[in-house]
Structure 1
Amino acid sequence: MSNSSSPGSAARPVAALRGSLRPSPRVIKISLGSFVDYSSGTGAMRMSTVLQQRRLYEEPSPHGLSFYPRIINAIRAGRAEGRDDEALATVVEQAGRVQRPHYEAIAEGWLGCLRGWRPTVVPTGSARWRCGQLDLGVTPHLGLREANGVAFATFLYVKERPLSRDGATVALRLLERHMPELLPNGVPLVIDVRRGRLHRLNRRVNRAKLDAWIRGEVAAYVTHWEAA
């Protein structure tokens, strides 16, 4: 009886070992806001958006990811304390030359949203959503409760470029998917603050088709990130 093995038998374990040593795909961690910016864009703008985002995440700058937090914090604090005008005026006055015109536009838009609408602030949680290589932080900017008891997990869009319907839909659906962690029994709400536009998710929208589209957006984002 022969103990010899076939010519390819020794090569197969080596090939399997090589395959097991391949590096795992890189996990890309971004915020919901970054993904919304991407989905809100069109054409070549989307590639440019990812290029800028990758640079900011890998090499943070003072006027990059930290450009808007102060005005968003002022919105939250002002509404919680019922001192919206004062809170916004203070942060606008303290803003630098580059930030000030943006903060002024955001403050004007937010105060416009509050005309005839005075929700109270409620606490919210946070969540993470993993889809392929993308690890997305899903965190509303604040929770708002109306007098009738309806509570909203609210995402504030404060960028200069108008928010597209696609961008708003991405945020609304991802907030909705994680509502048990964010604000139990809450409703997702997206506000394009500068323009004073409130976006809500259509109850009749096909969630399965919407989720499939979002997964396609994720795949496109990862492709652009790896090419950036």
Structure 2
Amino acid sequence: MLGFTRYISRTGPAKATFVGGLRKQRERRTGFNPHSQLVKALKADIAFRTGGSYLGGVVDLVKDRWKPLYESLRAGARTYLTSLGDPEQITLIQTRDALASVGPLAVKINPHFGLRFADGHREAVRIHFDEEPPNPELLTAMLHLMARHMEQILPDAEPVLVDLRRGVTHRLSPAARPGDVESWLAGEAAAFTAMWSTTAA
């Protein structure tokens, strides 16, 4: 899902360049996730209601090369944690991955965690770590795909995308028409598949 939605957020020649880079990365079997310890710390602070103490210590746990990244993300992660409100009113819950068919493309949908609030409201949370804020295309694609498969991911939950650097939570726009989004995504998936095949030639 991350690769496809990042592709969608690009325009013009940048799309082909991105697909070529993604294919090379796949062939080299690279793609280490540098954010995993941060996600664990955030989840621990939610689960144990510790108000950010795990986030406070996580920078010291990672290798030196990742410390600047973690420091740049930590303040926003704390802002997000605070925005959730009373820690006693929130429970961390498990989500499941789903596999979506988007035109000719199979897209794995993998939220980072789920939340249940005291009033019964649920959220399936996907985190955005990039330096640039998520643009409208990326937001629409990611939240729509999560919403489309919510029965598998976390029944009766609302999909949210958290821009972690800024501590901002994004939700699906009520103005988005699912049919129009589906058509747009199918077209983007067809173009992605064509570019992938071209870079393989």
- Of the three residues 93, 106, 121, the one matched with 2:92 is 121
Structure 2 residue aligned with 1:214 = 185
The two structures have a TM-score, normalised by structure 2, of 0.87
1:32-181 residue pairs with structure 2 within 5 A?
32-61=1-30, 64-83=31-50, 85-118=52-85, 119-181=90-152
Q: SS at 2:142's partner residue?
A: helix
The offset of 1:88, in angstroms, is: 2.0
Give yes or no for contact 1:75–1:84 (8 Å, CA) kept in 2. no
Give the partner amino acid of 2:17: S
Give the partner amino acid of 2:35: Y
* 1:64-105: CA deviation from partner (whole Å, max 9, x where unpaired): 332222222222222222235222233311223332211112
Determine which structure has the larger helix proportion and give its number: 2
Q: CA RMSD in A?
A: 1.8
Give yes or no for contact 2:114–2:125 (8 Å, CA) kept in 1. yes
Taking structure 1 as reference, are residues 156 and 130 closer, same or farther at Cα in structure 2, changes over 3 Å only? same
The offset of 1:156, in angstroms, is: 0.6
Q: Tell me how many residue pairs correspond in the alignment.
A: 195
The two structures have a TM-score, normalised by structure 1, of 0.78
Question: Greater shift after overlay, 95-104 or 178-187?
Answer: 95-104
Q: SS at 1:163's partner residue?
A: coil
User: How far apart are the structure 1 equivalents of 2:37 and 2:185?
Assistant: 30
Structure 2 unaligned blocks of 5 or more? none
Structure 1 unaligned blocks of 5 or more? 1-31
Give yes or no for contact 1:56–1:65 (8 Å, CA) kept in 2. no
The offset of 1:151, in angstroms, is: 0.5
Pick the structure with greater CA Rg. 1
- Of the three residues 143, 154, 163, the one matched with 1:183 is 154
